[in-house]
Structure formats: structure tokens, C-alpha cells
Structure 1
Amino acid sequence: METHRLVLPADLNQYGFLFGGSLLAWVDEASWIAASLDYPHSLFVTVGMDRVEFRHSVRQGTILAIKCGRLRQGTTSVTYAVEVRDTKSDAGPIFSTNVTFVSVDETGAKKPISGE
């Protein structure tokens, strides 16, 4: 799955660059959507991201492409590889990580992932 985000003034830090927390929220949201589309009968919560390293700065007005792909599935968890790129640059990814989700029931207890 791929989605896009426009970097707006509210997304910038005090130096005029994209605030890392905004990018992390977008990555979490995009990968959660991918998991929810792949497994529509499961409820997911984020367990973690394996690495947080920003490779390039991002300015206001940049259009980011966020690409999410299923990497592996367990009994109760699923992991997505996520890559973020500037749509107008060939400089390589701005950010990449693996995001892991766990399937839960209505009380928050782990449960097996429902079929696709």
C-alpha cells in the first residue's frame, strides 16, 4: 500500500524542518491502515518500530510517499516494512523501518489474527 502526505507549516520544528514526531505518526498510521486492510476482521495495536533514523531533512511543501508492505506474520502479530521518500528526489529514502502490530480483542488481550 502507498499513501502520500504534504508537509505543512504545522508539521515543522523550530528550525523549519519536518518534526520527527509528525513523520513517526504518519508511518504508524499508514502501516496500521495497511494491516487493517489486509486483515479487516482483526483489531491491531502498535507494538513497536525496529529502528528510528532520519536520513534526510524535509522542508515545507514536500510531498512524501509512504510505502508499506507486509514483511512477516505470526499467530498474533504482523510486521510491515515501511519506506518514506520525497516524491521529487532520487536521494534515497528519508526514513525506513519495520512496524509490528499485535492483534487484540475488545479488552486489549492478544488474540490470533483473523484470516484475510
Structure 2
Amino acid sequence: MSRKTRTVHLVRPGDCNHYGSLFGGTAMAWMDEAAFVAATRHARAKVVTVHADAMDFRQPVPQGSIVELVAWVKEVGKSSMRVEVEMWVEPMENFERVLACRAGFVMVAVGPDGRPQAVPLLQD
């Protein structure tokens, strides 16, 4: 398994719906960005998202929480990479971390001509 990419966001009022929890679209954007960074670090090339699995929302993410996204390249093909992303939520008032959401993304490396290019094999 390759190294993990970790990013952190604060859940602000503008990120939330009228129930005070994170918009699903915002969660997906943050997760796609984490997948992009993990894939770019692996390929060291321009990468694009070609597929996102169904997102598994397990827990609402309340306003005021700290969110940590953990992404890693799980598998590689010739030019594609399967990236797993987990979204962990930490309420401000305690030390508890809860898995709030999980999804998989397929990213493809592209060359200067916009066509798929080979990516390195995974290193243990």
C-alpha cells in the first residue's frame, strides 16, 4: 500500500445545510480533492477523476467539527489508479474520531497531449 495523504478541514456554516450538517456535495468535493492529491503524488503527473463509487455516508458531520480526509492509492492499472478515501469527523468538544463517510475514486494519469499515460507500480 502506498503512503497516505491526509488533509484537514473545519466544517463552517457555509459548508452546511439547514440541519447544520455538512452538505453531501461538499463532502464529495473534499474527498475528490484528497483522491486527486494521493493520485498525483503517486503518478507525479496530471490526473483526472474518471469514476467515483457510491459514497457511504455513515454519520452526519456537524457544523464546528474537524474533518480529516485520509486517501491512499489502493490499486494501479496501466494508467489508472484506484484511490480509497475515508472522512473522519472529530467533534470539537471531545477526542472521539468517527468514520463519517467512505468512497472510492478512479483517477487516470494523462500526459501533455491529454491522453492516458503509464503510472508506476505500487511499492510496499
Cα RMSD of the aligned pairs, angstroms, is: 1.8
The separation in 1 between residues aligned to 2:32 and 2:10, in whole angstroms, is 16
Matched, 1:67 2:70: yes
TM-score w.r.t. structure 1 length?
A: 0.87
1:44 maps to amino acid: V
- 2:17: which partner in 1? 13
- 2:106: which partner in 1? 100
Q: Match of 1:86, SS? A: strand
1:100 maps to amino acid: V
For residues 18-97 of structure 1, the aligned pairs below 5 Å read: 18-40=22-44, 42-87=45-90, 88-90=95-97, 92-97=98-103
Q: CA deviation at 1:114?
A: 5.8
- Asked whether the equivalents of residues 87 and 100 of structure 2 are also in contact (C-alpha less than 8 Å), the reply is yes
The separation in 1 between residues aligned to 2:113 and 2:13, in whole angstroms, is 38
Q: CA deviation at 1:73?
A: 0.5
The separation in 1 between residues aligned to 2:61 and 2:121, in whole angstroms, is 38
Identity %: 32
Matched length: 114
Sort the Cα spacing of 1:65 and 1:100 in 2 relative to 1 into closer, same or farther, 3 A.
same
The separation in 2 between residues aligned to 1:94 and 1:102, in whole angstroms, is 26
Q: Deviations over 1:30-89 (max 9, x none)?
A: 11011112222x110001122212111111110011111110001010011111111343
Q: Match of 1:57, SS? A: coil
